[in-house]
Structure 1
Amino acid sequence: MDFAHVVLYPTALMGTLGLVFGVLLAVASIAFFVKPDDRVELIREALPGANCAGCGYPGCDNYAEAVVVDGARTTLCMVGGSSVAAVIAGIMGVKAEAVESMRSFLKCAGTPECSPRNAIYSGIQDCRSAAVLPGGSPNSCPYGCIGLGTCVEVCVFGALSMKDGLPSVDLSKCTGCGTCVANCPKSVLKLVPRREREVMQVVCNSHWRGPDVKKVCSTGCIGCGICVKTCPEQAIVLENNLAVINIDKCTGCGACVAKCPSKCIHPVAGS
């Protein structure tokens, strides 16, 4: 068997083909090169680099590209606030818009003392996993905080900690990015606007009727409507058996707090 025909010629042929294709790819990369938009890098430099995903994108790089390429809003970075939004707007040549400062708020006061647990949960220590159990929670109230601390784990700013079985928000660290809200399977965390004054909020998430609520939680809203009748500013309405306070109308007078039989309306400190 001829060594040249068996080994050398095929090797030379494959080498030549590799060289030709390599040259073609090099030419194509030059011919079809798309110059990156400099604005993407400028916006990326203006962003705080937290990569918290609060803007709805996986990270700051993705958000910067979305602003330039897809026309994403310039006000989505809650961490950077109005100052960053103004820089991004300047880079994009659009009118700057203010970003309302937000904070995380827990709509549950059901500590183990107020809302006894009806099961011993020994599964994955993650609220999202526990929420798929029959009934939606290992706790007596299926609307309340499960209390496994998933929100604490996902907060990249260290603004949450567990206290008495419930997450506690450190306002000095909370940026209002919304990551904890997005990862809470029971929706007991929500974003509320920061206010200089103290306002009132209902610390309950249950939509059960009063008698059913009292069976599982001593501090849950029973939907009695007393607060609605008491509020001089008409800032409170009942929605599906749950009192809801309009934070823009609330003056923080405290009349509802004094009258609430379940003591589920709490003053929320200003920023």
Structure 2
Amino acid sequence: MAHQIMLAVIVLGALGIIFAVVLYFVAQKFKVIEDPLIDEIAEVLPGANCGGCGKAGCRALAEAFVKQGSMEGLKCPAGGDAVMQKVAALMGCVAEASEPQVAVVRCNACFTGERTKVHYDGLRDCSFANSLFNGENGCQFGCLGLGNCAAVCQFGALVMDSETGAPKIDEEKCTACGACVKACPRGIIELRNKGRKNRRVFVNCVNKEKGAVARKTCDNACIGCGKCTKVCPKEAIKVENNLAYVDYNLCIACGKCVNECPTGALVAVNFTPVKPKPAETPAVEAPKADAPKVEINIPQPEPVEVKKTNE
């Protein structure tokens, strides 16, 4: 009995040694040597894995940098120029400066008060609700207000407004990663350049229906009247499919179109409000003082006696 136990132990031990040797040689044969630069670049990246760069995560982006050997066509929107400069220093190349961007919600949705036409009581998911109905406010193009965009934001830059129920973006926290843009099934969120002095103008509507129909669902809908295009000095505004669009590459943020829009669909961000001029009061003439009366004594001639003489 003891002999059989010893034999089993020897056989199993020998098999273990043989398998270990085989695994060692296989591992050495097929091992992948990873460039240490990948780890260095991955340490510099934010680590949010937001997918704004188009890759699966930050490490995938680091691998793409090293594999390509340059920074052309690759960018970390969450890290911005500061992170790209660090990556460029590690790779020994020059990073091109890019225009900072921010996400904007192109919808003036409100899910409280008179605008609410129906009440949705179902799965709180925008993609699911989009396949069922137009929305609580009746607009088939507008925001559904169920918060898919806020759920995917890794930086806390997008929250649902407690008063209106619509998404609200914090510009200071937004990194323009684009996660919210991909999450919106109706495409109402867009990345736009921050603009000069952080000022920008955009059309706060995506409704492509004709003006009369669009106004039935929203008072601030774009009606495609084209008045904004006529006052734009840079021809930055185009009207297509009953909807105006501002090209941020051409817009100089003069604000003329905002003042011309009859429905308030055009929005100006970070503009200094113009103080109303004080009403001009008509000048009141002071009443003329009556000239003091001056009595002048004019001496009267003394009467002259005429004596009659008898001829």
Question: TM-score w.r.t. structure 1 length?
Answer: 0.87
Shift of 1:170: 1.0
Q: Which amino acid aligns with 2:54?
A: G
- Equivalent in the alignment of 1:181: 181
Does the residue aligned with 1:172 lie in a helix, a strand or coil? coil
- Equivalent in the alignment of 1:152: 150
- Equivalent in the alignment of 1:68: 66
Quick check: 2:112–2:165 contact (8 Å CA) kept in 1?
no
- Equivalent in the alignment of 2:288: none
Larger C-alpha radius of gyration, 1 or 2? 2
Counterparts of 1:144 and 1:71 in 2: how far apart (Å)?
A: 43
Q: Which amino acid aligns with 2:67?
A: V
- Equivalent in the alignment of 1:224: 225
Quick check: 1:66–1:72 contact (8 Å CA) kept in 2?
no
* Amino-acid identity (%): 38
Shift of 1:237: 0.7
Quick check: 2:111–2:166 contact (8 Å CA) kept in 1?
no
Higher relative contact order (CA 8 A, sep 6+): 1
Shift of 1:204: 0.3
1:121 aligned onto 2:120: yes
Q: Which amino acid aligns with 1:171?
A: E
When structure 1 is superposed on structure 2, of 112-121 and 73-82 the one drifting more is 112-121
Quick check: 1:85–1:99 contact (8 Å CA) kept in 2?
no
Q: 1:18 to 1:154 in 2, by over 3 A?
A: same
Q: 1:243 to 1:98 in 2, by over 3 A?
A: same
Please list, as runs of the form range in 1=range in 2, the aligned pairs for 1:1-271 lying within 5 A after superposition.
Answer: 16-69=14-67, 73=71, 75-112=74-111, 116-135=115-134, 137-163=135-161, 164-197=164-197, 198-269=199-270
Q: 1:240 to 1:18 in 2, by over 3 A?
A: farther
When structure 1 is superposed on structure 2, of 146-155 and 62-71 the one drifting more is 62-71
Aligned pair count reads 267
CA RMSD of aligned residues (A): 2.6
Q: Which amino acid aligns with 1:187?
A: G
Quick check: 1:78–1:99 contact (8 Å CA) kept in 2?
no
Does the residue aligned with 2:115 lie in a helix, a strand or coil? coil
Counterparts of 2:200 and 2:14 in 1: how far apart (Å)?
A: 76
Q: 1:219 to 1:115 in 2, by over 3 A?
A: farther
Deviation readout 1:222-248 (Å, 9 max, x if unpaired): 111111112232221112221011223
Shift of 1:171: 1.0
Deviation readout 1:48-100 (Å, 9 max, x if unpaired): 22222211223212211222235684642112212221222233333322232
Shift of 1:30: 2.1
Question: TM-score w.r.t. structure 2 length?
Answer: 0.77
Quick check: 2:194–2:200 contact (8 Å CA) kept in 1?
no
Counterparts of 1:21 and 1:89 in 2: how far apart (Å)?
A: 45
Quick check: 2:71–2:88 contact (8 Å CA) kept in 1?
no
Counterparts of 2:131 and 2:70 in 1: how far apart (Å)?
A: 34
Counterparts of 1:167 and 1:115 in 2: how far apart (Å)?
A: 19
Quick check: 2:160–2:168 contact (8 Å CA) kept in 1?
yes
Q: 1:71 to 1:243 in 2, by over 3 A?
A: farther
**Structure 2: runs of 5 or more not aligned:** 272-311
Does the residue aligned with 2:186 lie in a helix, a strand or coil? coil
Q: Which amino acid aligns with 1:182?
A: K
Counterparts of 1:28 and 1:16 in 2: how far apart (Å)?
A: 18
Q: Which amino acid aligns with 2:219?
A: S
**Structure 1: runs of 5 or more not aligned:** none
Quick check: 2:70–2:91 contact (8 Å CA) kept in 1?
no
Q: Which amino acid aligns with 2:223?
A: I
